[in-house]
Structures are given as C-alpha cells and as structure tokens.
Chains A and B, each alone.
Chain A
Amino acid sequence: MAAGPTLLLWTRSASPEVAWINNQLLSPWQHSGWSWRHIGRPEQADDPVSVCGSRFSVLSCLYRVWSGFAQLQRAEMARDSLSEAGLHFDELNKLRILDPEVSQQTTELKEECRDFVDKIDQFQKIVGGLIDLVDQLAKETENEKMKAIGARNLLRSIAKQREAQQQQLYALIAEKKMQLERYRIEYDALCKVEAEQNEFIDKFILQK
C-alpha cells in the first residue's frame, strides 16, 4: 500500500470542541482563536478514516468537509438568533442558558477563587506560624526581662547584704578588739608582776 497524502487535522485543545469538530469536520474560519493540531495521518488516500464513528475514504472525507462548511454556516446563523433569546449552545451543542464563555469565566473565577482561598489558607498558616514564633519570642523576652530585673534586684540586695555582712563583721571585729584589749591589759599586768618579782629577787639576792 502506497502512503496516502497526509491529512492534518487541527483542532482546539479543549475536548468538546474537538469532538464537535471531528463530527462536523472543521470550520477553521468560523472562530478565531482556534488552534490546530495534527491528529493523525492516514496510510493511504482511500484508507477509511474514522471520523466521528463513520468510515470514509479521505476523498469523501474531504468532500464532506466542504459540504459540512456550508452546513456550519447555516447553523451559525441559527445560533446567533438563539443567543439573543438567552439560549446558547455549548461546544457539545448542548443547550445552555449561560453563555459558555461566561460559564468558562465563572469556572475560571471559581478556580481562581479556590486558588485564592488556598493561598489565603497558606498565608494564614504562615502568618499563624509567625505569630506563634513572635509570641514565643515575647515570652522569652519577658522571661529574660524578669530574670534581668531579678538579677538587678539581687545585685542591689547583695550590696545591701554585703553591707549587713560588713556590719556584722565589724561587730565581730569590735568584739575581738575588745578581747585583744583585755589580753593586752592582762599582759601588761603580768609584765608588771614579772618586773616586780625580778626586782624582788634582785633585792633578795643583794641583801643576802
């Protein structure tokens, strides 16, 4: 089998439109913003190509495409009149009250909203963490502050304590001094006694 001409089918990426285009063949001029893509390449020109469930040869398929265009043009016209009445067709040609575009935007909005909510959630989580952190920090700071105050007070009281201790030591020193004075007096008295006794002994020896 010789290789047939390559048939390129371009379709928009979203699936309902693709289905519709495959059924109705293509009407690329009708809508702007359509992208095309290659969907397959028949092996032979008369190889049946399965388009929307029907088997056609490529040529007949092309014919059908061209005839389909005309049909499409007609349908377009009918659709415009419907949309004026507030009725729309979607890409699957189902009847819709909401303009598919609006619907799509709504969906997008919805998506975006969800994104937004997610992000907000995330934000909240982050901010919560931050608050916790700051709280903890505050607590620690408070602790440190109290500690510092305590230390300062302690320092101040230590000064006082030292003063008291000093006073106590002074009192003890005074006491010891008094004791020393007593011993000094006793020592002096004993020295005097010794001198007297020596004198006495000297006198005694001299007299003998």
Chain B
Amino acid sequence: MRLKLSLPKEAKHKQLVSCVGWTSADELYSCSDDHQILKWNLLNGETTLVVKLPDDTYPINLHWFPKNTGSKKQAQSEIFVLTSSDGKFHLISKFGRVEKSVEAHSGAVITGRWNYDGTALLTVGEDGFIKMWSKSGMLRSTVAQTGSPVYSVAWAPDSEQILYPLGKQLVIKPLQPNSKVTQWKAHDGVILNVDWNSVNDRILSAGEDCKYKVWDSYGLLLYSSAPHEYPITAVSWAPDGELFAVGSFHTLRLCDKTGWSYSLEKPNTGSVFNIAWSVDGTQMAGACGNGQVIFAHVVEQHWEWKNFEVTLVKRRAMQVRNVVNDAVDLLEFRDRVIKASLNYGHLVVSTSLQCYIFSTKNWNTPLIFDLKEGTVTLILQCERHFLLVDGGSLFLFSYEGRLISSPRVPGMRIDNLNVQTVSLSNDTIAIKDKGDEKLIYLFDALSGKPFGDGKPLTHKMDILQIALDQSGHANGRKIAFVDKNRDLYISPVKRIGKEQRPIKIGTMVHTLAWNDVSNVLCGLQDNRFTVWYYPNVAYVDLNLLAKTLYEKDGSEYSKTPQIVSFVGNRVTIRRSDGSLMHTNVSPYPAILQNYILSSKWDDAVRLCRFVKEESLWSCLAAMAVASKEMATAEVAYAAIGEIDKVKYINSIKDLPSNESRLAHIQLLSGNFQEAEASLLQAGLMYQAIQLNIDSFNWERALDLAVKHKTHVDTVLAYRQKYLDNFRRKETNKRFLQYAEGINVDWEKIKAKIEMELVKERERVTMGSSGPSVRSSIS
C-alpha cells in the first residue's frame, strides 16, 4: 500500500497553508496565511476563492461541522469553525459567509473541534484554556485551564471524554465533573498534535521529539516510531481507523493502525501542518508550508485469499492474479473503489455508487447492484453471504446480490463498527455495543431479528473483540470474545438454561480468529500461539480443554501481533513491525470435525488411530460426548487414559432407563442442573435424589425427598453414613428435625432402592412393549 501524490505545479496560496478540511469525497477547503479560503473541486480540478478574510485574521485551524449520517439530504457539511490567531473563532458557511465570530481566547485559538454528533465545540488556545461552546457559539463551560498553550484537542469516540496534550504529557479528561483524569508522559518533546479514532478507539500523538506514537484509550503504548529528522507536525486517522497519515517537513507517511509504516513519501512541500482525510477514507489532503495543498490517495491495497492476489492498481482498477497459473485479470470500475473484501471465493468491492460481487471462478461477469448511501465503511464476508455497513445501516446480501436482511440496532452508531466489534456467520450476526461495551447483540442473519427474547449477551467486563464460529449447525453456534482483562470466553449464541454461561477458555489473549471452514479457533495467548482444536469442549468436558489445545512458542511473532486470517490450515499473522508470518496448523481436527458433522464415527476413530495424537483423541472424546455417542466416547477416553471417564461411561450403560442414561451423560458434561431437571421431568425421583446424594448435595436431596414424600430415609441414611465416615455430628437443623421421626434401616432402604430400579426397568420394557401389546389386542 502506498500513497499516490498529486502536487499542483504552482502554489495556489501565496503564503503557508495552515489547514484543510473536506466537505465531501471530492471537495476540499483550504485556509492560508494570505487570508484566502479556497475551495478545491477534485472532479473538475478547479480551484475557486470562497472568501478573503480581513487582513488581521490569520486562520489556524478549521473543522467542518459533522454531517448527520443517515439522512441523505445532508450529504455535505454546511458550516465549519475556523480558529484564528486573533483569539476568535468564526463559524463560516460553505459559501464563505461568516455567520458568527466569537472572542474566545486571549492569544491565538489553536484548534476547534466539533464532537461527533455536532452538539458541542471545543476550542483550545495559547492561553491554556479549553472551552466548550454550544453549536451556535455560546460559551458553555471552561473544561480545563492549564498553564501552557494547548496545541491540539480530540474528542473520544463517545464524546464523553476529551484528549489534549499538555507539554510532554497527554491528558484524557472526562467531561463529567469529579471524574478521574488520566494523564501520562507521552513524549520527550512538546506534543504538537493528537488524534483519537472513533472506530478503533486508538490515540495518535506526535511531537517535537520527532516521533509519533499510537496508544490505546487507556494510555497503553502500542507503537512508538523511530525518531524522524524533523518534528512531526500533523497526524490524522483515516475515518475507518485502518490507516493513519503522518506529516512532517518534506515528509508524508502512511501507516497501519498498529503503527508500522506502509510507505514514505518525500514531496517538496515544506512542513505539512494539517492533514485531513476525505469522508470515504480513500484520499487525503495536506496543508503545506510552501503554500501548496498536496493531495494523496491510497493505492496498491492488497488482498489475498488462497491462490488469489488482488491489488488495487489504480483508483478505479484492480488486478487479480491467480498464483497457481499466473493468470492476470484486470477489473475496472466506473467509480472510485472505496472498500473491498476477498474471502470465501468471492471478491466484494464497493465503489462510491455501486457494489460489485466477483466470483473467483469468473472474473469477467461481476454482479452489480446500486448502493443506498455509497459510504460503505465495512464489508464482512461469510460463506453464504456478506454484510455491508453503509451509512447508518447494516445490510446483509447474498452473493447473488439479493438483500437478505437489515438488522437494526437501537441507539447505536453503526458507522464506527470494525472487524473486532462485529462478526458474521452463516446464520448469526453479532455486534458489540459501543455504548455499553459489556453487551453483545445477536441477530438471526436470515431474518435480521434479535435471537430469543432480544436481550443482548451480557458479560461482566468490557469486551474488546468478538468472533463467531463459521461451520456446523446454527444451534451449536458459538461466539468467542476477549474482554478487557484479555480473557477469552466462549458462549453459545442460543442460550438454553443457566448452564450455558460463557466459559473462560484462555487468558492473556491478544488476538484470535476462527477458521473459515471448521470450528477451530486460534489465538495468541501471552506469547504462545494457541489453537483450540475443539473449543466446544468447554461445554462438554472442561477438564479435557487443556488436552485439545495445540500450543507453540510465539516469541517469533514479537510483541502484539495480529492474526490476519485463518484460512484452511494456514494462519497468517502480522507482527507489530508489519511483516506477515505464516504458520500451519494440523489439518486433522478439521477433518475430524467434518466426519462428526456427517456422523461418520467409525471414520473418525480410524483417523484418530492413524494420527495417534492425544489432542485428536481428546477432541473425539468431547465430540462423541456432545453427540451422545457413548461407544466412541469410551474408545476415545480409553485412548487418552481417562480411566475414570471410561468407567463412568460403562456405568451409564448399565443404567436402567434411557432417561437416566441421558441425565448421566449430561452429568458427564458437568451439566448438573440439566441432568437433575431431565430426571425430574421423567418422574425418576429416586434417581434425582440419588444424583444429589452422590454429589453430596444433601440439602437439595432432602428437599426433593420431602417434596415428593419418598426416600427421606434413604437421604438420611446416606447422610448418616457420610457423617460417620468423617466422624462428625449432625449440625444441620433440618436433618436433625427429620431424623427424629425416622428410623434408619439399611435393609429396608436397599430393598426400596432395588424396587425403584426394577420399577424403572419395567417402565422401559412397558414403554417399549406397550404398543406391541396394544397392537396384539386390536
């Protein structure tokens, strides 16, 4: 990826250009020390003078009023704030009319920033004040008062906090009074510029120590650049948060969100004082110290999937290369390419007006449909369909271009979703709430309606990343998520009962990805590369979890790597320095999962015998138990030496009725309550009571016995035996109370139990022979 620059031969401004701002994807305003505000139309290449400011007004910064996403009418911003060196800020319409000038600071007003919904304006000045203003320019409050000039300011994505530099320090100040201010030393020189992205919630800072740094919103350093030759005067996030640009003297740099640099350009610009990205994030403009306005658009983006390589060669053309036979196709588009995604055999490209769907089998005839808004910020693919985030809405399309659904999330800004906060599988869409980060909204992909009662999945902690598994049945759909503590949890999407809580299956997980075709999860735990061959094991036999893992030293991936893709059995990881690393994982778990999906248990066992790996046997054991395939489970458990499990499975086989067998299989998976519930439902009171006795759940056993007026003495007898074994006395009042009236007689109890079991067996034979008896009667 690199920047393609276009620099006009002659500078249009006579003096240094101090600031630039885009109104739409093709229109830019620039202000200069020669008091002129120019409008640049990129479609026809014209530059027109909007207004000439009075001679004593030296503009410093401008910021367009955020346009309301969602309503098509306001495709363009109408007004912008311009700060100037005489201590005023001006609200100026796009026709150049100065609507209002407000005396704001003593000394220059260095920056003015609207918040994301346009309800408030922040200005910072040389006098060290940070002031908040209403939309109409009335002073609301003084947010902060510092002793030294404040050079920059940025709003948090939720508009609840602000970020500003204070000398060498960065300060995050919540707007609510009396809340805690976060402040840390960020640079070795004065910080000149900060930016905070609303999509990835990351902070950029740059200063006179000639470095730029990337932070997360808690102030954790993610990247620090090597020092440059000159102080860095401008940093700016692309709207989608995937890229950012850095400007310095004669320097323009394009960087990934993790900080490493895609490309470096050395245009003849003087210092770049201000960088602004266009609304669609495909191009940017820089205000140059020599009176130029430099334009740059991002080209040579690269997508890879299996044997296909797609490169954006020009703004309107892509080159596809099939690595296997070196066939090259050139795809041309009518408009500028904004977003693209290549996965699952399809390339989805959105331009400013249309969406193109190419199949990797046929590059010549794409499917084309018109977009509603034409501001696609995210394309997410799964096997059968893909999700477009366009303007303020989500649209799910099939690869035939048919609109399947359009899920609605109440009260949420959709345009700042990213890959980490939304996930898609064939039947489910999961979206992390931006307001309350503990919530995940789950939607049925086909209908676009929320699952179940519509309540979101709630976690006890803020969630950072979510991912849905891709294969298998919709009922077994699982979502994996990483919370703020970097713990990895897995949860079923359709929750039945209380047992199906999210279960923690990993700690210190920085990044994760599901396989594209099988339910294999991989992630980087601490600095180990970990593959969860069968994450569902957590709901079957948590003890087996450790055995179904594959772990490898991940120190070669250095600090904070990111998993880019997990396609087939190849994992691609991007290191923090930007280099891609590939690694293979075993293909067997995926094969095994396929066998299980098609219930080929014999084949599965044969595969495990062939591979002879404990992890695979463990997976098989868990899968067999999950599918209640006890014979296979027995073999598998025996293979991994879990004798207790084998014995238990054997004992389950001896159980008199199917219901109790099922209940015990549930118990084997650790679902105690479900096991009990199924027994009670089947009317097997004794089995239920015995279940509680066996798990030393005395109170519950007594409750059941009393409630159903049976086996009270059995409970008491076992309790007594238990206490005797430990040489202790009964202290529980309820047991004492019931023990008074009942005489414990082991003989009687044993006879009673025997009777129960016989009764249960009879019930089964009755049940099975019942119809035949009836048929003989008729």
Residues of B within 8 A of A168 (CB): 250, 266
- Chain A residues lying within 8 Å of B251, measured Cβ to Cβ, are 171
A167 CA to B260 CA, complexed, in Å: 20
Taking the closest CB of chain A, its distance from the CB of B566, in whole angstroms, is: 14
B610 and A207 contacting across the interface, CB-CB below 8 Å: yes
Are the CB atoms of A167 and B264 closer together than 8 Å?
A: no
A182 to B575, CA, bound (A): 9
Contacts of B584 in A (CB 8 A): 193, 196-197, 200
Q: Complex Cα distance A74/B444, Å?
A: 164
- Would you give the shortest CB distance from A194 to chain B, in whole angstroms? 10
- A185 pairs with B575, CB closer than 8 A: yes
The 0/1 profile, CB within 8 Å of B marked 1, for residues 188-208 of chain A is 011011001100100000010
Chain A positions 163 through 195: 1 when the CB is less than 8 Å from some CB of chain B, otherwise 0: 010011001100100100111111001101100
B580 at interface, CB cutoff 8 A: yes
Instruction: Give Cα A108–Cα B767 distance, bound, in whole angstroms.
Output: 171
Residues of B within 8 A of A207 (CB): 610
Contact (Cβ within 8 A) B580 A189: yes
Contact of B581 among A181, A186, A200 (CB under 8 A): A186
Is B580's CB under 8 angstroms from A167's CB?
A: no
**CB-defined contacts of A186 to chain B, threshold 8 Å:** 579-582
User: In whole angstroms, what is the CA distance A197 to B570 when docked?
Assistant: 11
Please determine whether A182 and B578 come into contact, CB atoms closer than 8 angstroms.
yes
In angstroms, Cα B572 to Cα A190, docked, is 10
Residue B261 at the A interface, CB < 8 A?
A: yes
Give chain A residues whose Cβ lies under 8 Å from the Cβ of B575: 185
Residue B583, interface by CB 8 Å: yes
In the bound complex, how far is the Cα of B266 from the Cα of A192, in angstroms? Answer: 37
Query: Do A182 and B582 have beta carbons less than 8 Å apart?
Result: no
Residue from B229, B250, B580 in contact with A182 in the complex, judged by beta carbons closer than 8 Å: B580
B577 contacts the other chain (CB 8 A): yes
The reply to whether the CB of B765 lies closer than 8 angstroms to some CB of chain A is no
A168 CA / B260 CA spacing, docked (Å)? 19
The answer to whether A189 touches B266 (Cβ under 8 A) is no
Interface contact B264-A189, CB-CB below 8 Å: no
Docked-complex contact B581 and A172, CB < 8 angstroms: no
How long is the Cα–Cα vector from A207 to B260 in the complex, in angstroms?
45
Question: Which of chain A's residues has its CB closest to B251's CB?
Answer: A171
A207 to B263, CA, bound (A): 48
Q: Are B581 and A167 in contact (CB under 8 A)?
A: no
B265 → chain A closest CB, angstroms: 9
Shortest Cβ distance from residue B634 to the other chain A in the assembled complex, whole angstroms:
25
CB of A160, distance to nearest CB on chain B (Å): 13
Greatest chain B CB density within 10 A among A167, A189, A200 is at: A189
Which residues of A from 66 to 110 have beta carbons under 8 Å from B?
Answer: none
Q: Which residues of A contact B578 (CB under 8 A)?
A: 178, 182
Q: How far is the CA of A207 from the CA of B266 in the complex (A)?
A: 58
Which residues B243-263 have CB closer than 8 A to chain A? 250-251, 260-261, 263
Structural contact, A178 and B582, CB atoms closer than 8 A: no
Chain A residues whose C-beta falls within 8 Å of the C-beta of B570 in the assembled complex: 193
Given A178-B261, A182-B578, A171 and B583 contact (CB-CB distance below 8 Å): no
**A196 partner residues in chain B, CB cutoff 8 A:** 584
Q: Contacts A168-B250, A171-B229, A207-B610 known; A182 to B264 CB distance under 8 Å?
A: no
Complex: how many Å from CA A167 to CA B581? 31
With contacts A168-B250, A182-B578, A207-B610 taken as known, whether A175 is within 8 angstroms of B264 at the C-beta atoms is yes
Which chain B residues in 575-594 approach chain A with CB under 8 Å? 575, 577-584
Decide: A181 and B264 in contact? CB cutoff 8 A.
no
Q: Which residues of A contact B610 (CB under 8 A)?
A: 207
Contact A171 B266 (CB under 8 A): yes
Bound CA–CA A164/B575 (angstroms): 32
Partner of B229, one of A167, A183, A184: A167
| A196 (CB) vs chain B CBs: closest residue | B584
Residues of chain B within 8 A (CB-CB) of A197 are 584
Contact with B along A123-161 (1 / 0, CB 8 A): 000000000000000000000000000000000000000
Question: Would you call A175 and B579 a contact (CB within 8 A)?
Answer: no
Chain A CB count within 10 A is highest, among B229, B260, B575, B579, for B579
* Chain A residues whose CB sits within 8 angstroms of the CB of B260 once the complex forms: 178
For residue A185, which residue of chain B has the nearest CB? B579
CA distance in complex: A197, B264 (Å): 37
Contacts of B582 in A (CB 8 A): 186, 189-190, 193
Q: Which residues of B contact A171 (CB under 8 A)?
A: 229, 251, 264, 266
How far is B304's CA from A186's CA once the two chains are assembled, in angstroms?
14
- Residues of B close to A190: CB separation below 8 A: 582
Which A residues are in CB contact (< 8 Å) with B577? 178, 181-182
B250: which A residues are within 8 A, CB to CB?
A: 164, 168
Q: In the bound complex, how far is the Cα of B610 from the Cα of A159, in angstroms?
A: 72
Most chain B CB inside 10 Å of its own CB: which residue of A164, A178, A196: A178
Give the complex CA separation of A164 and B270 in angstroms.
12
A168 to B584, CA, bound (A): 40
In the bound complex, do residue A172 and residue B579 qualify as a contact, i.e. CB atoms below 8 Å apart?
no
Write the chain A residue with the least CB distance to B575. Answer: A185
Among A181, A184, A193, A196, chain B packs the most CB atoms within 10 A around the CB of A193
Q: Which residues of A contact B581 (CB under 8 A)?
A: 185-186, 189
Query: B297-322 toward A: CB 8 Å interface, digit per residue (1/0)?
Result: 00000000000000000000000000
Chain A proximity of B589: nearest CB distance (Å)? 14
Bound-state Cα–Cα, A173 to B707, Å: 83
Q: Is the CB of A193 within 8 A of B264?
A: no
- Render B100-134 as a binary contact track against A, CB cut-off 8 A, 1 for contact: 00000000000000000000000000000000000
Q: B55-78: which residues lie under 8 A (CB-CB) from chain A?
A: none
User: B266's contact among A172, A181, A184, by CB below 8 Å, is which?
Assistant: A172
**In the bound complex, CA of A172 to CA of B580 (Å):** 21
B357 vs chain A, min Cβ distance (A): 29
CB nearest to B267 among chain A residues: A168
CB atoms of A189 and B583 under 8 A apart = yes
Kindly state the separation between the CA atoms of A189 and B529 in the bound complex, as whole angstroms. 14
Residue of A nearest to B577 (CB): A182
User: For residue A197, which residue of chain B has the nearest CB?
Assistant: B584
- Closest CB-CB distance, B773 to chain A, in whole Å? 55
In the bound complex, CA of A128 to CA of B583 (Å): 94
Residues of chain A with a CB closer than 8 A to B229's CB: 167, 171
Residue of A nearest to B570 (CB): A193
Nearest chain B CB to A55 CB, angstrom units = 106
Bound together, the chains give a CA A144 to CA B379 distance in angstroms of 67
Q: Could you tell me the distance between the alpha carbons of A193 and B578 in the complex, rounded to whole angstroms? A: 19
Per-residue 0/1 for A50-69: is the Cβ within 8 Å of any B Cβ (1 yes, 0 no)? 00000000000000000000
Check if A175 sits within 8 Å of B583, measured CB to CB. no
Closest to A195 in B: B584
Question: Are A193 and B583 within 8 A (Cβ)?
Answer: yes
Question: Is B263 a contact partner of A182 (Cβ separation < 8 A)?
Answer: no
Please give me the residue from chain B that is nearest to A176 by CB atom: B264
Q: How far is the CB of B582 from chain A (nearest CB, A)?
A: 5
Set of chain B residues within 8 Å of A175, measured between Cβ atoms: 261, 263-264
CA distance A48 to B261 in the complex (A): 133
Which B residues, 548 to 590, have Cβ-Cβ distances below 8 Å to chain A?
A: 570, 575, 577-584
Contacts of A200 in B (CB 8 A): 584
Please measure, in the bound complex, the distance between the C-alpha atom of A155 and the C-alpha atom of B644, giving whole angstroms.
Answer: 89
**Contacting residues, chain B, for A181 (C-beta < 8 A):** 577, 579
A133 to B260, CA, bound (A): 68
Q: B238-290: which have CB < 8 Å to A?
A: 250-251, 260-261, 263-264, 266
CB<8 Å pairs between A and B, sample of 14: A172-B264, A178-B260, A178-B261, A181-B577, A181-B579, A182-B579, A185-B575, A186-B582, A189-B582, A189-B583, A193-B570, A193-B582, A193-B584, A197-B584
Residues of A within 8 A of B (CB): 164, 167-168, 171-172, 175, 178, 181-186, 189-190, 192-193, 196-197, 200, 207
Extra 20 A-B pairs, beta carbons < 8 Å, given A171-B229, A197-B584: A164-B250, A168-B250, A168-B266, A172-B264, A175-B261, A178-B578, A181-B577, A183-B579, A184-B579, A185-B580, A185-B581, A186-B581, A186-B582, A189-B580, A189-B582, A189-B583, A192-B583, A193-B570, A193-B583, A200-B584
| 8 nearest A-B pairs in the assembled complex, by CB-CB distance | A182-B579, A185-B579, A175-B264, A168-B266, A189-B581, A186-B580, A189-B582, A193-B582
